[in-house]
Structure 1
Amino acid sequence: MANNSSKAVVSFIVGAAVGVAVGYLLNTDKRDELVEKLRFQADKLKDKFKKRKEHFEDALENELA
């Protein structure tokens, strides 16, 4: 029982710390730069997943043929 309580407390503290950090970063003068970097990274990740999906579809098509 105590283990679940300690996990909840740690989760709350980590969540609060992340929230404070994100709030701070989004309220600084470099917000636009940060948002642009995040968009760039999201686009890279999206492209990576798209390539893996295409590779998987090709491999599946070759297996079924």
Structure 2
Amino acid sequence: MSNSSKAVVSFIVGAAVGVAVGYFLNSDKKDELVDRLKYQADKLKEKFNKKKEQFEAELDNELA
């Protein structure tokens, strides 16, 4: 695929994502979508913090 083809595909994908985001932000389901995203972000933060704590504990054990 040439660089110009990649640029066109990237533009089309970006435009589609923009349209989808705009649609959801202007729809009645905006609050539901925002709540779902917040919930998923919180779950991801919890997983990250658990992994970070495990890594720190293992590092402390190795260095002790």
Alignment partners' CA distance in 1, 2:14 and 2:47? 28
Any gaps of 5 or more consecutive residues in structure 2? Answer: none
TM-score, normalized by length of structure 2? 0.93
Does residue 33 of structure 2 align to residue 26 of structure 1?
Answer: no
Whether 2:50 is the aligned partner of 1:51: answer yes
Q: Deviations over 1:1-55 (max 9, x none)?
A: x711111111111010000001001111111111011100000001110111111
**Could you tell me the percent identity over the aligned residues?**
75
Residue matched to 1:4: 3
Q: What's the counterpart of residue 35 of structure 2? A: 36
The normalised TM-score by structure 1 is 0.92
Q: How many matched pairs?
A: 64
- For the aligned residue pairs, the C-alpha RMSD in angstroms reads 1.0
Distance in 2 between residues matched to 1:16 and 1:39, nearest whole Å: 24
